[in-house]
Structure 1
Amino acid sequence: MTTYFRPADEDTTTPYRAGAMGILRDDAVLKAGFWIANPADVPQAVEILLPIDRTVLMLKGVMTYEVMGGPTYVIRTGDSVSFPKGTTIRLTVQEPVRQFFVDYR
């Protein structure tokens, strides 16, 4: 597992820029790996327009994914969720999380 270090001038509104990330695959088709974060890493809700298809399996913890104009999902240990490209979500880290993600480009 590697920690993602961000330069001071980098966009910090994307939650994957906080916490620790371990990449298993990153190529032209997909990106897959683990993301570990605490509520202090993402202290407020973050809104994201997904430029990719994203699927998440929550290995540990609790997060809320609010689909703008749609439902809200509370994802707990063992739950999974998938969002198509172009979805706008607002996420909140409620408890320390460890998730496996796959982003399809």
Structure 2
Amino acid sequence: MSGQTSSTWNHVITSHIAAEFVPFDYPEAGGTGGVSRFGEIAVLRTTAYDGTMHVAAFWRVEPATSPLYDVPLGDESGYVIRGSASIELLDSGETVELKAGDLYSFKKGTLSRWTVHEPFEKFVVVTDGASNAQ
């Protein structure tokens, strides 16, 4: 990552090709205290200007079906760079299809299972800041 230090930074410039990926571990759905692993993530930033959570990252995975995922960290929005996937939204029973070029957005707590049909990569932003709504 260019421009980032341990506590403050001005900007980040990278591409999904040059990003450093690590295994994506996240809290197991249902609040069991366990950890699930699915795919790999390259985190570009974790906080907003005001200290609230604002994660921007690249995420990728080979074809597979995910463990249950309940969007645990905050509202998640993404852009599919390559690949395709079917996302089963368990609360509504709906299934949505994503492919390269699609945008999506799920609110925190959305219970889902991802079935990835071909090598998949996305850019994702997750936020969980204080509400300014009136």
Q: What is the TM-score when the length of structure 1 is the normalising length?
A: 0.78
Deviation for aligned residue 1:5: 4.7
Q: Which consecutive unaligned segments of at least 5 residues does structure 1 have? A: none
Q: Is the 8 A contact 2:23 2:37 kept in 1?
A: no
Q: How does 1:1-105 map to 2 (within 5 A)?
A: 1-5=19-23, 11=35, 13-15=36-38, 18-19=39-40, 21-27=41-47, 28-39=52-63, 43-51=64-72, 52-70=74-92, 71-105=94-128
How far apart are the structure 1 equivalents of 2:23 and 2:86? 25
**C-alpha distance in 2 between matches for 1:89 and 1:58:** 17
Contact 1:14–1:48 under 8 Å retained in 2: no
Cα distance in 1, alignment partners of residues 107 and 23 from structure 2:
28
- Structure 2 residue runs without a partner (length 5+): 1-18, 25-33, 129-134
Q: Per-residue displacement from partner, 1:29-71 (whole Å, max 9, x unpaired)?
A: 21011112211xxx33421122211111101100111111322
8 Å contact from structure 2 (residues 91, 110) kept in 1: no
Extract structure 1 runs of 4+ deviating beyond 3 A.
none
What secondary structure sits across from 2:65 in the alignment?
A: coil
